[in-house]
């Protein structure tokens, strides 16, 4: 199933982590760790709606949606996000980079690849 952005955004414009977690079949704790957030940032509504949490969720969702066509599914994109070492970015995975606040580097790398650049 192809997950659309609208499937994970509520009426107020907030990313609903639950919808993404259901699709990926992972726990809130695992997801929070993989995107560099605390568990409470995902489970407490006030923290989930915080600008910094929503920004990290949007960055992660954008990266996953860019990878999905190559990976074949959102689950495949999640596997890539967690395991694929990105050579030009120090052989770190997207997970490691995003967790350290470097989502923009991952997005720039993906843009470079999409434009026909070499990995």
How many domains does the structure of the chain reveal? 1
Give the residue with greater pLDDT, 22 vs 98.
98
Rg over alpha carbons for the chain, rounded to the nearest Å, is 14
Give the residue with greater pLDDT, 13 vs 7.
13
Residue 31 pLDDT more than 70? yes
Cα dihedral sign, 73-75-76-77: positive
Question: Residue 4: its pLDDT value, please?
Answer: 62
User: Per-residue pLDDT tens for 51-91?
Assistant: 999 999 999 999 999 999 989 998 999 999 999 999 999 99
Question: Which residues span the domain enclosing 74?
Answer: 5-116
Average pLDDT of the residues in 83-108:
95
């Amino acid at each position: 199933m192809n997950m659309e952005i609208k499937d994970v955004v509520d009426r107020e414009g907030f990313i609903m982590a639950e919808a993404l977690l259901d699709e990926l079949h992972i726990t809130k704790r695992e997801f929070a760790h993989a995107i560099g957030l605390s568990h409470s940032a995902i489970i407490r509504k006030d923290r989930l709606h915080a600008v910094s949490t929503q920004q990290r969720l949007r960055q992660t969702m954008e990266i996953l949606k860019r990878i999905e066509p190559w990976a074949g599914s959102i689950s495949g994109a999640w596997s890539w996000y967690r395991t694929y070492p990105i050579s030009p970015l120090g052989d770190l995975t997207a997970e490691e980079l995003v967790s350290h606040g470097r989502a923009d580097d991952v997005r720039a790398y993906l843009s470079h690849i999409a434009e026909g650049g070499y990995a």
